[in-house]
Structure 1
């Protein structure tokens, strides 16, 4: 990735936890590092293929003066979010905010917060076998597309499959989605669980009937191992109802643990069945 830098923008503002910080103005120094691709802009000498650092600077100023933030952490988050939402060519942004006049009764140069935020790509699996199956999938997709700072990029065809496991139940209708989001994996999981609850999901029997099931399959190339979240999804390589629709929209995506294309994993699973 190429980078565009804006170093040491200076503003005087009223950000801070203490009352005197809200009243007495302080200096804040803000630097921005944006990861993008400048190749097309450089070859064509055309700003339309790059990001105007002057406009970004204006937006940083707008966010800075939009309210009085208690924490520079919150100010940094607001700036990063504004840049990622407004400038589609920026894939990752790092925001560093220095506070040289912080209320510390010691000699120091400055205190600072630095955060990095990104435009994330995730692949989801959705399935249902209760009620109007097509309506359920369409409704789930609509809820996902309405999540804040989240966009559904691709949707596979809907695939009818036999149920997984030993429980006697109706066939499922399944699909996979590619989304772009500013959420972290943990934040995205929380939002998806909320959608399941809104749609009436009740967790009574493992692998049993469900009005909707939404799983995170992949998230960028991250490997996540937490108590309630594992990415890549632990069983995705063993399930045709996942790999078939996922291969339709992401055949050349690489599984970060298996180190194989999704299309390759599908061929391996097909041969084993």
Structure 2
């Protein structure tokens, strides 16, 4: 299966378990890789058969605006489920990085792979 990816997508969201985090929006950096058959789009140079990056970004941004999770793990799980349902890709890999979450590290985060069931 072919892969389509979006790398380094940044969104601001309410994320964190500590009291001081509950009142501020923080940046998350997302790397997304989707299984997607690009042959139909490539055969006819047809945008309507391609995975629409702009629509994916808008979906992720809308999700991040309303999200209010304590854990990056929860953000990742719920976003992955939402993307699979909305776009119908067979599988996705999602890496969520929270820069500045630990002073000794550049970033911390999770990486998950999910598929439609």
Q: 1:147-185 deviations in whole A, cap 9, x for unaligned?
A: xxxxxxxxxxxxxxxxxxxxxxxxxxxxxxxxxx2xxxx
Which digits, 9 at most, give the CA deviation of each residue in 1:56-108, with x for residues without a partner? 011011111123111111111111111111112x1101111100121x3x421
2:36 & 2:23 partners in 1: Cα distance?
39
Q: TM-score, normalised by structure 1?
A: 0.41
Q: Which of structures 1 and 2 has the bigger CA Rg?
A: 1
Moved over 6 A (4+): none
What is the TM-score when the length of structure 2 is the normalising length?
0.92
Matched ranges for 1:64-75 at <5 A? 64-75=64-75
Cα distance between partner residues in 2 of 1:96 and 1:70: 17
* 2:12 aligned with 1:12: yes
Structure 1 distance, partners of 2:22, 2:35, is 34
Equivalent residue number for residue 100 of structure 1: 99
- Higher RCO by CA contacts (8 Å cutoff, separation 6 or greater): 2
Question: What runs of 5+ residues in structure 1 fail to find an aligned partner?
Answer: 120-180, 182-273
Cα separation, 2, equivalents of 1:68 and 1:34: 25
Write 1 or 2 for the structure with the bigger share of strand. 2
Quick one: structure 1 residues 20 and 78, their matched pair in 2 at CA, closer, same or farther if it must change by over 3 Å? same
User: What are the residue-to-residue correspondences of 1:1-273 with 2, within 5 Å?
Assistant: 1-88=1-88, 90-102=89-101, 104=102, 106-119=103-116, 181=117
Determine if contact 1:4/1:33 at 8 Å carries over to the other structure.
yes
CA contact (8 A) 1:26 1:101 kept: no
Query: Retained in 2: the 8 A contact 1:92–1:118?
Result: yes
Q: 1:33-78 CA deviation, whole Å, 9 max, x = no partner?
A: 1011001110111122221011001101111112311111111111
**Structure 2, gaps ≥5 residues long:** none
